[in-house]
Structure 1
Amino acid sequence: MIKIDKKEDGLYQFILKSENGNTLLKSVPFSTENEIDSALKELKFLKNSNGKLFERRTNTDGKFLIELKNTNGKIIGSSGLYSSEAGMENGILNISNSIDIDIK
């Protein structure tokens, strides 16, 4: 499920949640509705990207996270932290599957 929020500062953000309500990914802030709509439309190409739009990262505490990039290489969203690399890879699979279900 993708939820779009308009924040108090007037910026927009989308939040991708799993079927059981867990947050999988939060987007960067977008200035306009058009910008966030464009980013959401790009998510359709995720399934055909072979995972190339996911950047696997490790923070300074050794935790793993995922950054989702658009087709131009700009970061459009980030996951929460994972304690293991296997958990992060499972997170990528969950994000891909949730996007595929939500955007047709």
Structure 2
Amino acid sequence: MIKIDKDKDGSFHFILESVDGKTLLKSISFTSKNEVNNVIKDIRCFKNANGKFFERKTNTDGKFLVELKNSSGKVIGSSGLYSSEAGMENGILNISNSLDLGVK
């Protein structure tokens, strides 16, 4: 499920949620809901691009995370932290699957 929220400052962001409602990825802020919708359309078009738009990272504490990039290479969202590389890879699969679900 993709959930679009409006922030207190008037900006917008989207959250990718699993079927059971867990947050998988939170986007950066966007200036308008239209901009968010355009980004969502963009990421749905490339979700099956062999992971090309997912950047795998490790933080200074050895935890794993994923950054989602748009077709221009700009980071548009980040996952939570994973304790293992296998967990991160499963997270990428869940993020991809959540793109198939509706927008709320």
Cα shift at 1:102: 3.1
Alignment correspondent of 1:62: 62
Unaligned runs of 5+ in 1: none
Alignment correspondent of 1:78: 78
> Identity of paired residues, percent?
66
How many residues of Structure 1 are paired with residues of Structure 2 in the alignment?
Answer: 103
Equivalences for residues 30-41 of structure 1 within 5 A? 30-41=30-41
Unaligned runs of 5+ in 2: none
Equivalences for residues 39-54 of structure 1 within 5 A? 39-54=39-54
Higher helix share: 1
TM-score normalised over the length of structure 1: 0.93
TM-score normalised over the length of structure 2: 0.93
Equivalences for residues 4-23 of structure 1 within 5 A? 4-23=4-23
Q: Secondary structure at the match of 2:56?
A: strand
Q: Using CA pairs below 8 Å that are at least 6 residues apart, which structure has the higher relative contact order?
A: 2
Q: Secondary structure at the match of 2:77?
A: strand
Q: Secondary structure at the match of 1:55?
A: strand
CA contact (8 A) 2:2 2:101 kept: no
The 2-side partners of 1:63 and 1:47 are apart by 24
4+ residue runs over 4 A deviation: none
CA contact (8 A) 1:46 1:96 kept: no
Alignment correspondent of 1:27: 27
Cα shift at 1:90: 0.3
Q: Secondary structure at the match of 2:67?
A: strand
